[in-house]
Structure 1
Amino acid sequence: MKITDARVIVTCPGRNFVTLKIVTDSGITGVGDATVNGREMAVVAYLREHVVPLLIGRDPARIEDTWQYLYKGAYWRRGPITMAAIAAVDTALWDIKGKVAGLPVYQLLGGRSRAGATVYGHACGETIEEILREVARFVDRGYRAVRVQSGIPGLHGVYGISNNTPIYEPADAAIPTEAAWSTERYLAHIPSVFAKLRDEFGPSLRLLHDVHHRLTPIEAARLGKELEPYHLTWLEDPVPAELQEGFRLIRQHTTTPIAVGEVFNTVWDCQQLITEQLIDYIRATVVHAGGITHLKRIFDLAALYHVRSGSHGATDMSPVCMAAAVHLDVAIPNFGLQEWAGHSGETDRVFPHGYRYDDGYLHVSEEPGLGVDIDEELAAQYPYKPAALPVNRLEDGSLHSW
C-alpha cells in the first residue's frame, strides 16, 4: 500500500479547523487534526509546501519511521507549527492502520484500561451566583468534574468568561482584542469563589481552575496555599512554563495539585517537570504534541513519576483530535481527566464521529480506525475566517500573559 494523495482542508463551521486527509492506493483514507488556534494558515503552508510532497509514495504502515523522518529530517525541530503538522500525519496514519486491521485504534494501543474517559466541562460566570447556576447545570448532566472560571470585580473581558455564548471561543477578531488584567484583584477574589462552591456542592465534586499562565511562582504558591481548604483537583497553568524551575518554588509552598502542558509540543518540554515530580497532571494533547505516537511517549514517561494525563480539549481541538484523544484516554494506565468543551452542531456535522458523551464520560468509537471523518463538501461551505487570540495588558498598560 502507498500514499497517493494528502489533502489539507481548511474549514470554519463556527471556528477554524485545519485537517489533513491522507489517501492510499487501496482507497483507505485517514484524517488528522492540524489546528493551531489563531495561526492556522501557518500550519497549512507548512503542510502543503513542506510535508505533503514527502508523503506521496510512502508506505502508510511505517508510522514510527514517518514520524522520525518528519521530525529529524526537518532540522528546525519542535515548535507548535512543525509539531501540529507532524501530529496530523501521525494521527491520519493511525487511522489508516486501524482500518486496515479492522480494529479501533485503542485496541492497537493495548486495549482498554477503563470503560470511558472522565471529562470535565467549563463553568463560568461574572458573579458567584452565575457560577453556582452553571456548575449545577453540569452536575445535572452527570459531570463529575468541572473547571470554574470567574469574572473579577473591576475587570472586563476576563479569560474563560463566555459572553453569553453556549461555547466559549476566545479567538474573536482578525486583529487581537485587548483586555485589562490585575493580579491583585484576581488573588483577592478567587478563594471566595471556591469557598462558596464547596459550601454549595460538598466535597465529592472535582473542581478545577485555570490561572492561564498569569502569575509569578510566589503568587501562584500563595494562591495554591489559599485554595488548599477547598481541595481542587488541579490548579492549571499557574505560571508561564518557560522557566520550569519556578514550579519547584510552587511545590515548596502548597499541596494544591498542579496541571500544565497544553502549549507543550514535545516530551522535552515537560521532561524536568515530570521527572522531578513538579506537576501532577500533564495536559499535552494529540494535535500539539506530535500526534498519538509522541503523546503516548509523554504519557509513558509520566506514568513512571506518578503524573497523570489531563489532556487539553478546548473548542479548537477538532472532533478528529478529540477522537484520537479518547482512544489514548481509554488505553493508557495513568489517565487522569479529559477536557471536553464540546463543539457546535455545525462542527459535529462537518466532522461525523463515533465517540459520545454519557453520564460524565466520553465513550470511544468501536469503528475501525479513529471513528471520525470530514465531510469535504460540507466543509467547503464554511470558508476560513481570520481570528486571533486576545492579548492582555495590566491596568498601567504593560503587556501581560494572556
Structure 2
Amino acid sequence: MKITAARVIVCSPGRNFVTLLIETDQGVTGIGDATLNGRELSVASYLADHVIPNLIGRDPRNSEDMWQFLYRGAYWRRGPVTMSAISAVDTALWDIKAKLAGMPLYQLLGGKSRERVLVYGHANGNTLEETVDAVGQYIDMGYKAIRAQSGIPGIAKAYGVARGTLYYEPADAALPTETVWDTPKYLRFVPKLFERLRETYGDEPELLHDVHHRLTPNEAAQLGKSLEPYRLFWMEDATPAENQQAFRLIRERTTTPLAVGEIFNTIWDCKELIENQLIDYIRTTVLRAGGITHLRRIADFAALYQVRTGSHGATDLSPVTMGAALHFDTWVPNFGIQEYMRHSEETDAVFPHDYRFEAGHLYCGESPGHGVTIDEKLAAKYPYKPAQLPIARLEDGTLWNW
C-alpha cells in the first residue's frame, strides 16, 4: 500500500483552518488538522513545500517510522510549525489505518477506558453579572464543568470575553489589535467572581479559570491561594512555562489544581512539570504535540506521576482535531477532562463529523477512522482571511503576555 497524493486545504468557514488530506493507491483517504492560529499559512507552506514530497510512495501504515522521519529527519526539530505539520500527517495516517481495519480509531489505541468524555464549556460576559448568567446558561445546556471568564472593571477587552454569544474567536484582525492589562485589578476581581458563582450555583458544578500566562509565579500563587475556598477544578496557564520550575513556587503555596500545556510541542516542554508533580493536568493537544503518536507518550509518562489529561479544545482546532481527540480521550487511562468550545454552523458544515454532545459529555463516533471528513466544495466557498491574535500591553505601554 502506498501514498499516491496529498494536498493542503486552507479555508475560513468562520475562522481559518488548514487541513491535510492524504490519498492512497487503495482508495482509502485520511485527513489531519494543521491549523496554527494566526500563522496558518506557515504550516500550509511547510506541508506543501517540505513534507508532502516526502510522503509520496510511502506505506501509510508505517506511522511510527513516518513520525520519526519527519521529526528526527528534519534536523530542525520541534516548534509549533513543524509539530503542527507532523500532527496533521500523523492524524491522517491513524485515520487511514483505522479505516483499513474497519474500526473506530479508539479500538486501534486499545479500546475504551470510558463510555463518554467529560467536557467543559466557556462561559463569559462583559461584567460579573453577565458571566454569572452565562454560567447558568451552560448549566441549563447540560454542562457539568464550565470555564468562567469575565470582563474586569478598569480593563478594556479582557481575555476570554467573546464578541458574541456561545462562539469565541480571539483572532480578529489582519494585524494584531492591542489590549491593556493590569494585574492588581485582575487579582482583586477574580476571587469575587468565583465567590458569586459558588453562592449562586453551589458546590456541584465544576468551575475552571484561564489566567492565560498573565501572572508571575508569585502572583499566580496569590491567586491560587485566594481561590481555594471556591474549589476550582483547575487554574490554567497561571504563568509562562518556558521555565518549568516556575511552577514549583506556585505548587508550594496553593492547593488549587494547576493545568498547563496547550502551547507545548513535545514531551520535553512538560518533562520537569510532570516528573516533579508540579501540575495536575497536562493540556497538550493532538494537533500541537505531533499527533496521536507523540501525545500517547506524553500521556503515558504523565500517568506515572498521577497527572491527568485535559487537552485544549478551542475553535482554533478544527473538528478534525476534536474527532481525533475524542477517540484518544475515550482510550487514554489517565483522562481528566476535554475542553469543548463549540464551532460555528459554517465550520460544522465544512467538517461533517459523527461525535455528539449529551448531558455534559461528548461521545466519539463508531465509524471507521476518527469520524471527521471535509466537504471540499463547500470549503472552497470560504477563502482564507488574514487574522492574527491580539497582543497585550501594561498601562505604561510595556508589552506583556497576551
Task: Return the TM-score normalized by structure 1.
Answer: 0.99
Equivalent residue number for residue 353 of structure 2: 353
Q: Secondary structure at the match of 2:270?
A: helix
Distance 2:128 2:76 in 1: 47
Equivalent residue number for residue 143 of structure 1: 143
Equivalent residue number for residue 344 of structure 2: 344
Q: Are 2:166 and 2:342, in contact at CA under 8 Å, matched by a contact in 1?
A: no
Distance 2:342 2:226 in 1: 31
Task: Return the TM-score normalized by structure 2.
Answer: 0.99
Q: Secondary structure at the match of 1:209?
A: strand
Equivalent residue number for residue 191 of structure 2: 191
Task: Say whether 1:17 aligns with 2:14.
Answer: no
Residues 123-153 of structure 1 show CA distances to partners (whole Å, capped at 9, x for unaligned) of 0112121111101111111101000001110
Equivalent residue number for residue 52 of structure 2: 52
1:244 Cα shift?
1.0
Distance 1:270 1:134 in 2: 33
Distance 2:254 2:368 in 1: 45
Task: Say whether 1:293 aligns with 2:293.
Answer: yes
Distance 2:371 2:193 in 1: 40
1:165 Cα shift?
4.0
Equivalent residue number for residue 61 of structure 1: 61
Distance 1:210 1:355 in 2: 26
1:267 Cα shift?
0.5
Unaligned 5+ segments in structure 1 are: none
1:387 Cα shift?
0.1
Residues 164-215 of structure 1 show CA distances to partners (whole Å, capped at 9, x for unaligned) of 3431100000000000000010001000000010111111110000000000
Residues 329-371 of structure 1 show CA distances to partners (whole Å, capped at 9, x for unaligned) of 0101110000000101100010000011111111001000111
Task: Say whether 1:2 aligns with 2:5.
Answer: no
Q: Secondary structure at the match of 2:335?
A: coil
Q: Secondary structure at the match of 1:121?
A: strand
Q: CA RMSD in A?
A: 0.6
Equivalent residue number for residue 382 of structure 1: 382
Give every structure 1 segment of 4 or more consecutive aligned residues whose post-TM-superposition deviation is greater than 4 Å.
none
Q: Secondary structure at the match of 2:264?
A: coil
Task: Say whether 1:303 aligns with 2:327.
Answer: no
Distance 1:299 1:386 in 2: 34
The residue identity in structure 2 corresponding to 1:267 is: I
Distance 1:258 1:97 in 2: 35
The residue identity in structure 1 corresponding to 2:277 is: Q
1:245 Cα shift?
1.1
The residue identity in structure 2 corresponding to 1:113 is: S
Query: What does 1:2-401 correspond to in 2, within 5 Å?
Result: 2-401=2-401
The residue identity in structure 2 corresponding to 1:357 is: F
1:382 Cα shift?
0.4
Distance 2:150 2:243 in 1: 27
1:372 Cα shift?
0.7
Percent identity of the aligned residues?
65
Count of residues in Structure 1 that have an aligned counterpart in Structure 2: 402
